Amino acid sequence: MKTALVTGITGQDGSYLAELLLNKGYHVVGVKRRTSLISTDRIDHIFGNIEHTMNFDLVYGNLNDSGCLHRLLLEYKPDEIYNLAAQSHVRVSFDTPEETTEYIAMGTLRLLEAARNICPEARFYQASSSEMFGDNPNIPHNENTRFAPASPYACSKVYAHYLMRNYRESYNMHASSGILFNHESPRRGETFVTRKITMAAARIKLGIQDVLYLGNLEPKRDWGFAGDYVEAMWLMLQQENPDDYVIATGKSHSVREFLELVFDRAGLNINEHVKIDERLFRPHEVPYLLGDPTRARKKLNWTPKVSFKDLAIMMYESDLKNINKGVLI
């Protein structure tokens, strides 16, 4: 049985990846930071499956603690490492640039060093981001597109991305990076714009809320489904040789389009319920991101399954159901 260590296990991607790996017969070691709040809601269902529970260990760890990382790798000797942990909110990175950089950039370095010294044969996946391309006008973006990061979050991801390439070339590690474009799901964090929209639409539909405040509606993103994207992560580590891959749909849509799809599904009038708040604008907004997943399609035989429209409806229907049941407030 293979063992996979996954940082960021309680996040959106971590929860979907844990499901995929457990279904493939892995022993999964999920690493989470210690907090005073319960943050396991995305993975609680795993403990309801006896077979999965037997093959799933949830442990405390922190990318800022080298000793902790060494201990975990010594104890579990993973065959695969998936580094998904991050301060993942672009807007928040402008408010907490040091914390964002410390956790993403230096945290990745600490984990790579621990792996190099303790289990150098382990295959290592790093969650890179489309935000690294920033303002580069050469569309669509592929693995050779020049990075032009436009936020502390993106700058940190670029550093981590180049570390992966350096360790791959310098130490012959099987280190691969997935340059993932926006990927959403019903498990997306509630502060991200897609969930803000779907939750608000559901609450307005149920008469709980009246107005949704949003920032800039014009940025265009390449939106996909997180459940599809974690499969690409796994596929990267099954290849004979490591590499970097853009994971995207190859189609771009604006925040406004997402809003229109959700409100149309809910039968709501945008003009009556949505107001623009300039305080929610980013200091530096990237206007347009579009990925070219050709390499992933050809080398990994990977293609996204869920469409933009189906994704928006899936998220809205999930929030409507959960708020109606009292699972969400």
Other C-beta atoms closer than 10 Å to the C-beta of 42 total 21
Q: Would you say residue 313 lies in a domain?
A: yes
Q: Please give the structure tokens belonging to residue 10.
A: 């309680």
Same domain for 11 and 156, yes or no, is yes
Q: Would you say residue 93 lies in a domain?
A: yes
pTM for this predicted structure? 0.93
Q: Would you say residue 297 lies in a domain?
A: no
Q: Would you say residue 299 lies in a domain?
A: no
Q: Which of 153, 167, 245, 316 is catalytic?
A: 153
Dist. CA 266–CA 287, nearest whole Å? 27
Q: Would you say residue 293 lies in a domain?
A: no
Same domain for 172 and 282, yes or no, is no
Same domain for 206 and 153, yes or no, is no
Active site residue 185: no
Q: Would you say residue 174 lies in a domain?
A: yes
Omega cis (within 30) before 287: no
HSE-CB at 238 with a 13 A cutoff on CA atoms is 13
Same domain for 117 and 197, yes or no, is no
Assign residue 279 the CATH number of its domain: 3.90.25.10
Same domain for 149 and 194, yes or no, is no
Q: Would you say residue 11 lies in a domain?
A: yes
pLDDT at residue 134 in the model: 92
Assign residue 142 the CATH number of its domain: 3.40.50.720
pLDDT at residue 285 in the model: 81
Active site residue 131: yes
Instruction: Spell out the per-residue pLDDT of the chain, length 329, in tens.
Output: 999 999 999 999 999 999 999 999 999 999 998 765 567 888 888 877 767 888 999 999 999 999 999 999 999 999 999 999 988 888 889 999 999 999 999 999 999 999 999 999 999 999 999 999 998 989 999 999 999 999 999 999 999 999 999 999 999 999 999 999 999 999 999 989 999 999 999 999 999 999 999 999 999 999 999 999 999 999 999 999 999 999 999 999 999 999 999 999 999 999 999 999 988 888 878 889 999 999 999 999 999 999 999 999 999 999 999 998 877 76
Q: Can you give the residue range of the structural domain that contains 270?
A: 190-221+252-288+307-325
CB 281 within 8 A of CB 193: no
Other C-beta atoms closer than 10 Å to the C-beta of 263 total 24
Q: Closest by alpha carbon to 288, among 100, 135, 77? A: 135
Q: Which of 19, 131, 184, 231 is catalytic?
A: 131
Q: Which of 88, 93, 129, 156 is catalytic?
A: 129
Q: Would you say residue 294 lies in a domain?
A: no
pLDDT at residue 38 in the model: 61
Q: How many domains does the chain have?
A: 2
